[in-house]
Amino acid sequence: MDKTVLITGSNKGIGLATARELGSRGNNVILAARSQQRVHDAADALSREGINADPVELDVTDSTSVSAAVHHVTDTYGKLDVLINNAGIAMSDGSGNTSELTRDTMHRVFETNVYGVLTVTNAFLPLLHKSPGGQIINVSSEAGSLNVAGREDTPLADIQAGAYGTSKAALNMLTIAYAKELRSTPISVNAVSPGFTATDLNGRRGIRTVEEGSQAIVDLAVMENDVPNGTFRCDGRIDFLGDTVTVPW
C-alpha cells in the first residue's frame, strides 16, 4: 500500500535520505523543515528523480507553524499514515562537561528534540487515527539509553550524555508513553536509532552514510503487518525500550 509519510527535518541528512528511499518506493512523501527555501530545494531535487515530494514549511518549535502544516496535510491528503519525528539538534557548552552545560542550552535542545516531538505528534494524531494502520517513528539514539550510558564496553563509555543524550533519553520515555496510550488502536509508536551517521549534527564525524543510517527507519515505515509497538529498533534488531541494546558501531 502506498503511504502518506511526513518527515520532519527532511531537507537534508538522514531525513532527506529517508524521504528519497520511501518516495522511490511509490509513497507520498511530505518533506517538512523550518526553512521554506531549503525544503523546496530538497523537494525539487527529489522531483527531478521522479519522486512525489511535497514541501511543507514546519518549525517543530512553533505551534503556529505546526498547525499550518496540519491544515495542509488535512486539505491535501485527508490522513497521515506515517509520522517520522526526525528533526533534532545537538548543542554543548565549554568543553562539553556536564558541569558547564547551561540551562539555556539544555532548554534549546529539549525544545526541538522533546517538546517539538510532543507538539508535532499531538497535532497530527487526528490524521494518524484516520489511517488504517498509522505509525509514529521517533528518531532516537543509543546516547539516550540508560543501560548503554552506564556500560564500560561500548564506544559511549567515556562520553557524557550532555543535552543531546539527555533529550534522547526523554524521547525514549515519551515513545513508551505514547505506545502505552495507543496500544489499543491501530497506531504503533516506536523509536529508531540510525547509528553514528555522518551528518551536520555531529560535524560529519559519523562512520555511516545517510543511506545506511536511514535504513532502519525505512524498514519500519514500510511494514504492513505485525508492526511492533513501544520498541527501540536498530539495524533490523528490535529491543524493548529500557532493555540493553546492542550498539551497532
Least confident of 25-29, 94-98, 175-179, 206-210: 206-210
- Average pLDDT for 86-96: 89
Write the pLDDT tens digit of every residue in 171-205.
999 999 999 999 999 999 999 987 655 465 555 55
Q: What is the CATH number for 141?
A: 3.40.50.720
Summarised one tens digit per residue, pLDDT across range 124-165 is: 999 999 999 999 999 998 777 776 666 666 656 566 668 988
Question: Could you tell me the pTM of the whole model?
Answer: 0.88
Q: Domain for residue 249, yes or no?
A: no
Is 209 a member of any domain?
yes
Active site (annotated) includes residue 168: yes
Domain with 212 in it: 4-240
Percent of the chain whose predicted confidence (pLDDT) is above 70: 80
Report the distance separating Cα 241 and Cα 168, nearest Å.
12
The one-character DSSP state at 114 is I
Q: Check pLDDT > 70 for residue 242.
A: no
- Domains held by the chain: number: 1
Mean pLDDT, the chain, integer: 85
More confident residue, 128 or 226: 128
Question: Is 80 a member of any domain?
Answer: yes
Quick check: 245 pLDDT over 90? no
Cα–Cα distance between 232 and 145 in angstroms, integer? Answer: 10
Residue 241 binned pLDDT confidence (cut-offs 50, 70, 90): very low
What CA–CA distance (Å, rounded) separates 106 from 155? Answer: 23
User: Among 3, 12, 168, 180, which one carries the catalytic annotation?
Assistant: 168
**CB atoms near residue 181 (< 10 Å):** 12
Query: Within a domain: residue 131?
Result: yes
Instruction: Check 3, 12, 77, 164 and give the catalytic one.
Output: 164
Task: Look at residue 210 and tell me if it is in a domain.
Answer: yes
191 strand-pairing partners: 138, 232
pLDDT of 28 > 70? The answer is yes
Q: What is the mean pLDDT of residues 70-85?
A: 98
* Per-residue pLDDT at 232: 83
Instruction: Identify whether 246 is part of a domain.
Output: no
For residue 248, tell me if it sits in a domain. no
Task: Check if 164 is active-site.
Answer: yes
Q: Is residue 147 part of a domain?
A: yes
Q: Which residue has the cell 514546519?
A: 58
